Amino acid sequence: MILEVTKYGNPILRQKGARIETVTPEVKHLIADMFETMYATKGIGLAAQQVGKAIQLTVLDLRGVEDRPSTLELDGKPADVENFMPLVLINPEIKPLNESVAGPEGCLSFPELYGDVVRPESIAVKALNEKGKPIEFRCGGLLARAVQHETDHLNGILFIDRMDRKSKNEIREELDMLQAETKAKLEAPRKK
Ligand code: ZN
C-alpha cells in the first residue's frame, strides 16, 4: 500500500524513533509499504517518520542511480552496491571514517527543495536487517550520504539542520511556506 509521506511542519519528523526489538509481522508489513511508497515517489531512501511512525526503521534502494557513485565494503572487501539493494536498516548506528564533503541533497518530505549538505564521505554502519539479523558494512559516496540522511530522520534530524547557510537562505521562503501549509492541513480536520 502506498502511504502518505509526511511533509516538513509535521511534528513526527522531529521525533526520535523508538528502537525495534523484534521484527514483528507489523514491522514486515510496514517495510513492504515503505518500499512501495518510496518507489512510487521515486525516492532512494525513506525513513519511518516520513510515513508517520517514530521507530528506528529505514529503507533504501540506490539501483538505477548512475550519475553519483557509491562504494561498499563487506568484511573488509569491496562489494557490489547493486547486489546489496534493496536495503533495510533497523536501529542503525554510524561511525564517520574520513573527512566531510559537501553534496546536494533532497528529501521526500521537502518536495522540490534542494541544498548542499556537508557530511563524512565514508562511514561504518551497524544495524539489523529485515530479518532482525545484525549486519555491518562500510560505505562511501552517495550510499554513505543516503544512509546518514535516513539515520538522521530516525533521530528527528532533518537535512536542513545540516545545510550550509547559503543553501538554506536560498530556500528559506519556500521552507516557511511548506511548514505553514503542513500545519494548516494538520489542523484543518479538528475545526470541523
Ligand atoms: Zn529525507
Q: Identify the band that residue 190 occupies on the pLDDT scale cut at 50, 70 and 90.
A: low
User: Does residue 150 register a pLDDT over 90?
Assistant: yes
**Cβ(74)–Cβ(80) below 8 Å:** no
d(C-alpha 130, C-alpha 115), whole Å? 31
For the chain, what are the domain ranges? 11-191
CA of 139 to the centre of ligand 1 (A): 19
- Cis peptide bond prior to 69, omega within 30° of 0: no
CA of 183 to the centre of ligand 1 (A): 18
- Rounded to a whole number of angstroms, the CA Rg of the chain reads 17
Q: Which of 136, 150, 181, 187 is catalytic?
A: 150
Active site residue 82: no
As a whole number, the mean pLDDT across the chain is 96
**Cβ(95)–Cβ(124) below 8 Å:** yes
> What is the pTM assigned to this prediction?
0.96
d(C-alpha 180, C-alpha 169), whole Å? 17
User: Does residue 192 register a pLDDT over 60?
Assistant: no
Express each pLDDT in 41-73 by its tens digit: 999 999 999 999 999 999 999 998 989 999 999
CATH class, 11-191 region:
alpha beta
- H runs (alpha helix) in 17-106: 25-40
Residue 159: CB atoms within 10 Å: 24
Mean pLDDT of 155-162: 98
CA of 188 to the centre of ligand 1 (A): 25
CA of 162 to the centre of ligand 1 (A): 12
pLDDT of residue 64: 85
